[in-house]
């Protein structure tokens, strides 16, 4: 049924002049019927091309027909790759390559493929940071969650804290990023569009005296991502930082709610 549907689409396209000059209906059906016979008899051997026929009328009333090939398809090589992902840290990929143009043979190779690393979690990040940074990071977790920022991570290298609206299954907008060495305050383009660049700059003016996430050359540009700050630097500054983040979170949430109501 899928083959028939595809052929019907080709027939429709010929009637709609997609291939150049239009085809007469009976000719289009004849072409489709022949292609269908070829597919059924040899589904792997079909080759399809377009030929343009240019007709020139002579002064004596005769005609010259000049064929011009527009498109030809030829299978150069066929690659079949089988990847078997197990629960262990590596897998085996077997690649079977058939090169019909050069060698007309088949070669196979087997190589190890690293499985995707699991997403970072709060506990795994705690295990990665230095011993001195662990209590700072634990306090940061607690304070971020106390103001309603949500942890939503899909990366193996960074934790993301941000705003989600609606609360449980809505759009997630990251604001703060944590890795094994640094923390970033980095509102995304979507957040900037919601609250406006002017408010982003006000947010920086309030945050930077507490923790300098943006250098002087970055400060006035709302599109810059800022700097990563070591955990040792934010020690004893987390409560003040959280106060600024709470106001920012409320601004973003209000903008999301307003957008949601209007939609």
Residue 105 confidence (pLDDT): 54
Q: Which helix (H) or strand (E) holds 78?
A: strand 77-84
pLDDT of res. 5: 54
Confirm if 165 and 256 have CB atoms less than 8 A apart: yes
257/137 same-domain check = yes
Quick one: 110 and 45 in the same domain? no
Pairing status of strand 105-114 against strand 150-151: unpaired
- Across 198-231, b (16+ Cβ under 10 Å) vs e yields ebbeebbeebbebbebbeeebbeebeeebeebeb
**Residue 179 lies in domain:** 122-262
Q: Is residue 157 located within the same domain as residue 33?
A: no
Q: What is the pLDDT of residue 166?
A: 79
Comparing C-alpha atoms, which of 177, 119, 121, 129 is closest to residue 149? 177
Same-domain status, 52 and 86: no
Q: Name the token pair of 113.
A: 């493929």
- Let me know whether 11 and 95 are in one domain: no
- Residue after which a domain boundary falls, among 71, 90, 106: 71
**Residue 229 pairs with which residues in a beta bridge?**
183
Asked whether residue 63 falls in the same domain as residue 157, the answer is no
Per residue of the chain (263 residues), what is the pLDDT tens digit? 445 555 555 555 544 444 444 455 566 666 666 666 665 565 555 555 666 777 788 888 788 878 776 555 555 555 565 655 555 554 444 444 444 444 455 555 555 556 567 888 999 999 999 999 999 999 999 999 999 999 988 888 899 999 988 776 788 999 999 999 999 998 888 999 999 989 999 999 999 999 999 998 888 887 888 899 999 999 999 999 999 999 999 999 999 888 888 87
Answer yes or no: do 254 and 126 share one domain.
yes
Claim to verify: residue 45 and residue 130 sit in the same structural domain:
no
Please name the residue ranges forming H helices in 20-79.
25-41
Q: Are residues 137 and 255 both part of a single domain? A: yes
Residue/partner pairs of 110-116 with CB below 8 Å, 24 or more apart: 113/83, 114/89, 114/90, 115/85, 115/88, 115/89, 115/90, 115/91, 116/156
Helices (H) and strands (E) in the chain, counts: 9, 10
Q: Which residues contact 56 (CB under 8 A, 6 or more apart)?
A: 63, 64, 65, 66
Q: Is 208 helix (H, G, I), strand (E, B) or coil?
A: coil
Q: Which of 59, 85, 114 lies at the terminal end of a domain, its last residue?
A: 114
Burial profile 33-45: b = 16 or more Cβ within 10 angstroms, e = fewer: eebeeeeeeeeee
Same structural domain, 7 and 51: yes
61: tokens are: 């009333």
3-class secondary structure, 221: coil
Task: Work out how many domains the chain is built from and give that number.
Answer: 3
Phi, psi angle pair for 45, to nearest 5°: -105, 5
Residues 159 and 214 in one domain: yes
Distance of CA 196 to the CA centre of its chain: 26
Expressed in percent and rounded to 5, the helix, strand and coil fractions of the chain are 40, 25, 35
Residues 129 and 109 in one domain: no
Q: What is the pLDDT of residue 62?
A: 80
DSSP 125: H
Q: What is the pLDDT, as a whole number, of residue 205? A: 93
pLDDT for 44 equals 56
């Amino acid at each position: 049924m899928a083959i028939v549907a595809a052929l019907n689409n080709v027939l429709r396209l010929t009637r709609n002049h997609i291939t150049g000059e239009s085809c007469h209906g009976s000719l289009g059906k004849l072409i489709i019927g022949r292609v269908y016979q070829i597919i059924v008899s040899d589904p792997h051997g079909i080759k399809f091309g377009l030929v343009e026929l240019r007709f020139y009328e002579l002064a004596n009333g005769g005609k010259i027909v000049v064929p011009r090939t527009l498109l030809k398809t030829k299978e150069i090589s066929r690659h079949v790759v089988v990847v078997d992902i197990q629960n262990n840290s590596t897998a085996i990929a077997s690649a079977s390559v058939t090169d019909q143009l050069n060698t007309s043979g088949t070669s196979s190779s087997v190589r190890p493929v690293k499985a995707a690393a699991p997403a970072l979690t709060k506990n795994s990040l705690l295990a990665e940071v230095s011993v001195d940074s662990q209590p700072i990071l634990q306090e940061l977790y607690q304070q971020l969650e106390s103001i309603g920022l949500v942890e939503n991570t899909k990366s193996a290298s960074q934790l993301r804290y941000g705003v989600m609206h609606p609360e449980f299954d809505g759009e997630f907008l990251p604001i703060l990023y944590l890795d094994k060495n640094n923390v970033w305050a980095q509102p995304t383009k979507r957040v900037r569009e919601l609250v406006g660049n002017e408010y982003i700059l006000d947010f920086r003016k309030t945050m930077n005296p507490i923790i300098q996430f943006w250098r002087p050359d970055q400060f006035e540009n709302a599109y810059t991502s800022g700097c990563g700050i070591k955990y040792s630097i934010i020690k004893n500054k987390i409560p003040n930082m959280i106060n600024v983040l709470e106001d920012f979170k409320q601004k973003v949430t209000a903008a999301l709610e307003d957008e949601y109501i209007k939609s």
